[in-house]
Structure 1
């Protein structure tokens, strides 16, 4: 049992990483499906580090992450002042903000012989080169798969096969200066990352990087290179793994490519990705709905992915430039009940890692879109070119959208039904009067609509957050409450769960 734990969870390599960097407080982050092995892994790691006391290293097991289990939970790790996080299981490999991380992807079984034969068959049927992508949990079997395919190719004449590599297993947070430098260029082909001499990836910006005569890609923890003369559409993408968030990220990002998924459970290939194309169509339907929204909620879905504060500020500027209002909401993992507390928000923008960015909002009162979809919805003249971006790092720029003003620029005329140039002060004044008249008509229409609604929210007309707050029957313990007052209000404990203030006081006495 111990040998199995050591192999599956790479205990010796993890211990070497901790010793090499002299960490003394280490957080072990487990997803729900691996939590049953957490105690055994901690014991094995403590034994490997130096016996019962773990060589002076304190290990803390983390579960029930603050946001998504695929991301490094820097919030949870900060509660115990951890110096690094060892992340187990499926990982999105989003860059961290403050803590270094060590990744143990696991070793999910893969029948390399059957998979190699399937890969050979796809190579025969297609006239395109094949790019093999895979879930990180199958990275351990890549060398065996290459050997099987090379042996099969000796007796068969087939096309070229290229394999993606794992980006890294150790990640250090990029410094503020490096992130600022990466954000300043605002180019979609800026440096995505640089690999230091110790194998640590320093992330800067975007997933495609042109280096001389090659084009380097990095997505979901995988990296591969192509010739600058080649496009991704020239390759057949062969995905090894399950139909999960990592696969959705690949399909939507490269939605013009031919894609085959090898099901590792059924041991057979599948070319049907139509259900994901339906998702893509629905996402653009939500973009059209978002264009009509006036109040937008910005949902913070991560507190650890590098650049999340920058993209939140960028979304605020974008929404303000579009003449709309925005509220920033931090609530952990969003659900329909939580979002129902903010009925004034007509659409939500979800800022999270790429593999959890797509929320199914069918059961929500308002649609939830990604930052990329927000750019499409709230940027004037922006049209979809077929690309789809899930990683918000691809959107980071330092250029603020220009807010509508009386300067000489093209703007929409409701009288002429199109964009016109403001050439003189008189035209500006006419447009201001037209905009004011339009606002009054819109306000009157909303008032009529709200009068026909029985919900408590629509008592009168609500134009701002304070108006919505006044329309609610319950406004918190410090506000007015229409109904029987609570008998008493109990003050809860203060401090951390590891040692509340009252417990510390009792101990000292």
Structure 2
């Protein structure tokens, strides 16, 4: 496949010219960087305008599937062209044009596998796909029309649905307080105002991972067999967890094979439930900012802060790029972390971390009084609409923790007998934090001695602070192995010359 077709040079140039953009950021994932110089050269030839600046962006601060608006702002870009795999998360400040790429696929093999599923399934079949295979879906539809005519001779009740791509052009969200709004535009210029969700909205309309579709009245996702075209990637994991009540099969275009067994992902779902139960016992929670570009992330951070405060717990907000065990180990006072990120980077395997990392949806289950997990799952944080203020009446259920073996109460019984004023609530938060840190002081895994009332005091009481300065004018003495001095004459070489 030639470069101009795969990278959609003509359509990209048309987008730039129609928008009158003068500084364009071209965002490439690591695996496509090798083509960046050729793409710039081809775009330059197509634009034929030396006044338009083209800037290549590579290493992203967070996930490469999201539009890197922070990196684009460093070069003063007024739009972003995003190449490769994307989650199509709503942008907040810049318009974006998406080039999904054209991954290789055998249409005939795909149609054969799809026809086999249709002939054996008693349920309607819903075809979902990775965005990199969207270029071939029309060919799959045309080939399936011929197959359906022959299949219906032996089975007349066949039902087949294909989903559509939400958009290829995205305008920034104008109202952050209402993150469900979006400004998507398709290749034909039509707008698509669809909430990102994994559940039904506006009747039977569904959207997830850049795909959108409608189901007829009376038909639910649980009633459909999902036929996924693509590799086993974060987008597929999002589908598996969100629609865990549906039967799912996957056609792998690279292997030309059909996979039906996804026990690993079912184990992942069980582990997420375990982490929810573990989070209920937490007293100090760290909120990890996993995106600075997805519209609504500030709204979600505030919602998490309010949720944690109402649960009588303490929270810290941390911005550190991509989390790893070493980074989070600097905050041992946090019992659990909430990762506010796009749906396709939200799941972190935190087995190697000192504290578990959960999603905003899991945090809502853990810290909301009376909430129970029904089996439904949600990775897209923008679907979590702020719940109404919780009633503090005695009729509310306490949160049951299987790990603690009982009900977890957020406040003392005395606080339930009378209304809690703002000042008293602040005092209760301080006391809860102090009790939590005292518990950690007695834990042999922590070196801290004494009582700390905040994260800063907790840090000051550590026995190790890194490279400590012994005095204002002194520096730590390194443990020297090998030679010292300059390469032109090491210290031992000078001493040898003097001896000679």
The equivalent residue for 1:198 is: 189
Aligned positions of 1:146-165 closer than 5 A: 146-157=141-152, 158=155, 159-165=158-164
SS of corresponding position for 1:131: strand
Seen in structure 2, the aligned counterparts of structure 1 residues 447 and 139 have a Cα distance that, compared at 3 Å, is closer
Q: CA RMSD in A?
A: 3.4
Alpha-carbon distance between aligned partners in 2 of 1:440 and 1:58, rounded to the nearest angstrom:
56
Aligned positions of 1:220-239 closer than 5 A: 220-239=209-228
Alpha-carbon distance between aligned partners in 1 of 2:78 and 2:436, rounded to the nearest angstrom:
57
The equivalent residue for 2:484 is: none
Alpha-carbon distance between aligned partners in 2 of 1:32 and 1:359, rounded to the nearest angstrom:
20
SS of corresponding position for 1:72: coil
The equivalent residue for 1:170 is: 169
SS of corresponding position for 2:331: coil
Structure-1-length-normalised TM-score? 0.82
Deviation per CA, 1:388-432: give whole Å up to 9, x if none: 000011103274556x6xx88758699x9899xx99999549xxx
The equivalent residue for 1:294 is: 283
Question: Residues 196 and 208 of structure 2 are in contact (CA less than 8 Å); yes or no, is this contact kept in structure 1?
Answer: no
The structural deviation recorded for 1:443 is 7.0
The structural deviation recorded for 1:161 is 1.3
Alpha-carbon distance between aligned partners in 2 of 1:461 and 1:198, rounded to the nearest angstrom:
61
Question: Residues 84 and 99 of structure 2 are in contact (CA less than 8 Å); yes or no, is this contact kept in structure 1?
Answer: yes
- Match status 1:79 vs 2:70: no
Seen in structure 2, the aligned counterparts of structure 1 residues 486 and 93 have a Cα distance that, compared at 3 Å, is farther
SS of corresponding position for 2:352: coil
Aligned positions of 1:299-338 closer than 5 A: 299-338=288-327
Question: Residues 313 and 432 of structure 2 are in contact (CA less than 8 Å); yes or no, is this contact kept in structure 1?
Answer: no
Question: Residues 28 and 36 of structure 2 are in contact (CA less than 8 Å); yes or no, is this contact kept in structure 1?
Answer: yes
Structure-2-length-normalised TM-score? 0.83
The equivalent residue for 1:89 is: 84
Deviation per CA, 1:183-219: give whole Å up to 9, x if none: 6xxxxxxx777769833445656454544xx511110
Alpha-carbon distance between aligned partners in 2 of 1:36 and 1:44, rounded to the nearest angstrom:
14
The equivalent residue for 2:19 is: 21
- Unaligned regions of 5+ residues in structure 2, if any? 401-405, 477-500
Aligned residues: 459
**117, 121, 134: which one aligns with 2:116:** 121
Question: Residues 196 and 380 of structure 2 are in contact (CA less than 8 Å); yes or no, is this contact kept in structure 1?
Answer: no
Alpha-carbon distance between aligned partners in 1 of 2:439 and 2:163, rounded to the nearest angstrom:
59
The structural deviation recorded for 1:466 is 3.0
Question: Residues 11 and 45 of structure 1 are in contact (CA less than 8 Å); yes or no, is this contact kept in structure 2?
Answer: yes
Question: Residues 193 and 204 of structure 1 are in contact (CA less than 8 Å); yes or no, is this contact kept in structure 2?
Answer: no
Seen in structure 2, the aligned counterparts of structure 1 residues 100 and 462 have a Cα distance that, compared at 3 Å, is same
- Match status 1:134 vs 2:133: no
Alpha-carbon distance between aligned partners in 1 of 2:72 and 2:129, rounded to the nearest angstrom:
29
The equivalent residue for 1:498 is: none
Deviation per CA, 1:13-35: give whole Å up to 9, x if none: 10011011110100000001101
The equivalent residue for 2:483 is: none
SS of corresponding position for 2:5: helix
The structural deviation recorded for 1:486 is 7.2
Aligned positions of 1:4-403 closer than 5 A: 4-50=2-48, 54-157=49-152, 158=155, 159-176=158-175, 179-181=176-178, 198-202=189-193, 206-208=197-199, 210-211=201-202, 214-397=203-386, 399-401=388-390
Deviation per CA, 1:192-248: give whole Å up to 9, x if none: 77769833445656454544xx51111001111001311111110000001100000
Alpha-carbon distance between aligned partners in 2 of 1:117 and 1:411, rounded to the nearest angstrom:
52
Seen in structure 2, the aligned counterparts of structure 1 residues 120 and 368 have a Cα distance that, compared at 3 Å, is same
The equivalent residue for 2:441 is: 450
Alpha-carbon distance between aligned partners in 1 of 2:354 and 2:416, rounded to the nearest angstrom:
43
